[in-house]
Amino acid sequence: MGREYFIAGNWKMFKTSTESREFVQALAGQFTAAPGLTVAVFPPFTALEAVRGLDPKVHIGAQNLFYEENGAFTGEISPPMLRGLAEYVLVGHSERRQIFHESDEDVNRKLLAALRFGLKPVLCVGETLPEREAGRTLDKVHGQLEKGLAGVGDADWAHLTVAYEPIWAIGTGRNATPEQADEVHRHIRGLLESKVPGRRIPVLYGGSVKPENSLELLAQKSISGVLVGGASLNVESFSAIIQNGSKLLSA
Ligand code: 13P
């Protein structure tokens, strides 16, 4: 099977709807579609309508969702509300887990709700620095995957993406080395292979991905793409990362 890359930008709590629209228009002018290349941005909820359908090369995702369909849940956004606005949705980002106290069970309910309503979840997992230093990285990631993926149906695996984001590498400028990322990615691939043999589920790396380190990270066999935070907020730096993916695809 040929290589495929998924290059995703998580904008977090940045960009108004006008800024998001201008960004997507500018970004679309910076790269050409290529077989095996998927580019997506994850703007805030408030910008989803503004970027809808702007350019088929730029796929759209949401950063979060709630697992109920509707009800008295002030401030929450349900899966049916996202349908038609977003193709993908992040679940279990470390900022949601740490700042908003989402448990593995919450993450699992969100993931299943997303699938139920035709959204493609990107399940984020990753360890803290103390966990890495204590040699608990693989255990932590393994547990998050087992709990996060509980109950996924046979037909749903095709719509799933996993993102490994070591928390100590997020927003710190300190990325995992390609070898560190590769070790965890191989573990994740092994676990996924045991669940759904023969199906290649994309596993992205995230954490201080920049134009300068993206080529080497993407060149790792076990890495199927990147989930970019800070460097995805700027058209030049995000498109430079996309170009690196294209370069590797045509190599
Ligand atoms: P940075 O690229 O800013 O480290 O953020 C990574 C991230 O959290 C993407 O979801």
Nearest alpha carbon to residue 25 among 45, 7, 6, 52: 52
Where does the pLDDT of residue 230 fall: very low under 50, low under 70, confident under 90, or very high at 90 and above?
very high
Domains, the chain: 5-250 (3.20.20.70)
Q: How far is the CA of 204 from the centre of ligand 1 (A)?
A: 12
Q: What is the pLDDT of residues 136-156, one digit of tens each?
A: 999 999 999 999 999 999 999
Q: Is residue 187 predicted with pLDDT exceeding 90? A: yes
Q: How far is the CA of 229 from the centre of ligand 1 (A)?
A: 3
Alpha helices in the chain (DSSP H): 17-28, 48-51, 79-82, 94-99, 104-116, 129-133, 137-148, 178-195, 211-219, 235-250
| Structure tokens given for 51 | 């970027």
Q: What is the pLDDT of residue 1?
A: 56
CB 85 within 8 A of CB 48: yes
Nearest alpha carbon to residue 88 among 130, 128, 48, 54: 48
210 burial level (CB within 10 Å; 0-12, 13-18, 19+): middle
Which amino acid is located at 16 in the chain? T
Q: Is residue 171 predicted with pLDDT exceeding 80? A: yes
Q: Is the CB of 178 under 6 A from ligand 1?
A: no
Q: Whole-model pTM above 0.85?
A: yes
Q: Is residue 73 predicted with pLDDT exceeding 80? A: yes
Ligand 1, pocket-test mutation among 6, 7, 10, 162, most atoms within 8 A of CB: 10
Nearest alpha carbon to residue 11 among 46, 35, 53: 46
Q: Is the CB of 79 under 6 A from ligand 1?
A: no
Local structure of 59: helix, strand or coil? strand
Give the atom of ligand 1 at the shortest distance from the alpha carbon of 42.
10
Closest C-alpha residue for ligand 1 atom 2:
229
Which amino acid is located at 10 in the chain? N
Q: What is the pLDDT of residue 2?
A: 77
Instruction: Give the integer Cα–Cα distance in Å for 12 and 229.
Output: 7
Local structure of 22: helix, strand or coil? helix
Instruction: Give the integer Cα–Cα distance in Å for 19 and 1.
Output: 38
Q: Is the CB of 170 under 6 A from ligand 1?
A: yes
Give the atom of ligand 1 at the shortest distance from the alpha carbon of 231.
2
Q: What is the pLDDT of residue 251?
A: 86
Give the atom of ligand 1 at the shortest distance from the alpha carbon of 227.
9
What's CA 106's distance to the chain center, in Å? 18
Q: Is the CB of 125 under 6 A from ligand 1?
A: no
Q: What is the pLDDT of residues 78-117, one digit of tens each?
A: 999 999 999 999 999 999 999 999 999 999 999 999 999 9
Q: Is the CB of 227 under 6 A from ligand 1?
A: yes
Local structure of 51: helix, strand or coil? helix
Q: What is the mean pLDDT of the chain?
A: 97
